[in-house]
Amino acid sequence: MVEEPIPHWPGELLDLGDLALHVRSTPAGPQEKAVLVHGLAGSATNWTDLMAELREEVRGYAIDLPGAGYSPEPPGGDYSIGAYAAAVTALIEHVGGPVHLLGNSMGGAVSVRVAATRPDLVRTLTLVSPALPDLFPRYGPARVAMSAAPRIGEWAMTRLRALPPERRIRATMEMCYADTGRVHPDRLEDAVAELRRRDDLPYAGPALVGSARALVNEYFRRGAENLWRLAAQVSAPTLVVHGRHDRLVDPRMAVRAHRTFPDVRLVLLPHAAHVAQMECPALVARHVRALMQDATRLAGGAEGAKNAENARNAEDSLIVG
């Protein structure tokens, strides 16, 4: 049996002008700040355990993207990656940057856009199974593409919501976890209760379909706004984490990440899948902590830069574990 889970961090609804965002945060204390961005169909609670692991180093702010979690739907129903990136940017400006920015899956795509377009706001970038354009045939992305198709998405959403919440949650966890035995029964019950709450929101279905369509659109975007082109412009030290058993984002994309991000280290976790920050938060935290410490040394002067460069040279190949 897995350990008793900690409670989710408290949240508040922030008024950011023309946008309202629900944000969960760890207690004040550390000077450094981290902003954490969830993936498709996720919420700020996807980061609860990793935030606990890092609470001595950073004060964490986990966002419910517009229309997700406890955040209301966005103005105009805009669920594009660009609109999400604008929301994350607004939050960082509100809490005060630069911050350590972390994103999982679709949140990774959002975080890449933020880091590339607003480098002044991002100290380090951590991407857990980032949903960057990947046209390798794969069951999970095929389901997302199908749900994003015109009219089919709405039909699929109606059919899906007819299923019991318990069944939907178990199916999601089987898709996202390498070992669902790591999920504590209390967390499973909490997820089911949250899905029931979401089912009663009139915008929950459109938000999920709109987010899926936005993600699919990014896979086919060309030109300067293509996410891989933006990744090549990221100046922040970057950590890319993949789970070997990921059914949604192919771990082989680490090869392209190594070729694309200017300053990157890669980690492959052999016993994780799509949500490594939830499956093995202590292990992910260890690598995030190393990234942040090296960035701090780099900012400390020439000697620190030399030490950080040596560390990067030692880790410029794939780290397993």
Residue 57 has pLDDT above 60, yes or no: yes
Please state the φ and ψ torsions of residue 29, each to the nearest 5 degrees. Answer: 160, -75
For residue 303, tell me if it sits in a domain: yes
What per-residue string of b and e applies to 293-317 under the rule 16 or more CB within 10 Å gives b? ebbebbeeeeeeeeebeebbeebee
**Average pLDDT over every residue of 284-301:** 90
Residue 63 has pLDDT above 50, yes or no: yes
What secondary structure, in 3-state letters, does 191-216 show? HHHHHHHHHCCCCHHHHHHHHHHHHH
Q: Which pLDDT score is estimated for 307?
A: 45
Residue 200 has pLDDT above 70, yes or no: yes
Residue with tokens 């279905």: 205
For residue 6, tell me if it sits in a domain: no
Q: Which pLDDT score is estimated for 298?
A: 80
Q: Which pLDDT score is estimated for 180?
A: 95
Lowest mean pLDDT among 162-171, 178-187, 311-320: 311-320
Running DSSP on this structure, what letter comes out for residue 129?
Answer: S
Which of 158 and 69 is assigned the larger pLDDT?
69
For residue 132, tell me if it sits in a domain: yes
Q: What is the pLDDT of residues 37-55, one digit of tens each?
A: 999 999 999 999 999 999 9
What per-residue string of b and e applies to 147-173 under the rule 16 or more CB within 10 Å gives b? bbeeeebeebbeeeeeeebeebbbeeb
Domain region containing 136: 11-320
Please state the φ and ψ torsions of residue 125, each to the nearest 5 degrees. Answer: -130, 125
Question: Distances in Å between the alpha carbon of 163 and those of 100, 130, 158, 206, 208?
Answer: 39, 29, 9, 17, 16
Nearest to 209 by CA among 262, 150, 279: 150
> Residue 256 CA to chain centroid, in angstroms?
19
Residue 310 has pLDDT above 70, yes or no: no
As a whole-number percent, the residues of the chain with pLDDT over 70 amount to 85
What secondary structure, in 3-state letters, does 54-84 show? CCCCCEEEEEECCCCCCCCCCHHHCCCHHHH
d(CA 119, CA 53): 26
Q: Which pLDDT score is estimated for 216?
A: 87
Residue 194 CB partners (closer than 8 Å, separation 6+)? 43, 45
Tell me the angle at which helices 152-161 and 204-219 cross, rounded to the nearest 10 degrees. 140
Residue 296 has pLDDT above 50, yes or no: yes
Q: Which pLDDT score is estimated for 319?
A: 74
**Average pLDDT over every residue of 136-159:** 52
**Average pLDDT over every residue of 167-184:** 94
Residue 3's pLDDT band (cuts 50, 70, 90) = confident
Q: What is the pLDDT of residues 204-234, one digit of tens each?
A: 999 998 999 899 889 888 999 999 999 999 9
Q: Which pLDDT score is estimated for 297?
A: 86
Any idea what the CATH number is for the domain that residue 31 is in?
A: 3.40.50.1820
Structure tokens at 222: 């060309």
Q: Which pLDDT score is estimated for 31?
A: 94
d(CA 184, CA 208): 25
Contact 239, 126 (CB under 8 A): yes
**Average pLDDT over every residue of 3-12:** 94
Domain count along the chain: 1
Q: What is the pLDDT of residues 77-116, one digit of tens each?
A: 999 999 999 999 999 999 999 999 999 999 999 999 999 9
For residue 133, tell me if it sits in a domain: yes
Residue 157's pLDDT band (cuts 50, 70, 90) = low
Q: Which pLDDT score is estimated for 232?
A: 98
For residue 5, tell me if it sits in a domain: no
**Average pLDDT over every residue of 232-258:** 96
The pTM score is 0.90
Torsion of CA 301, 303, 307, 313, to 10 degrees: 90
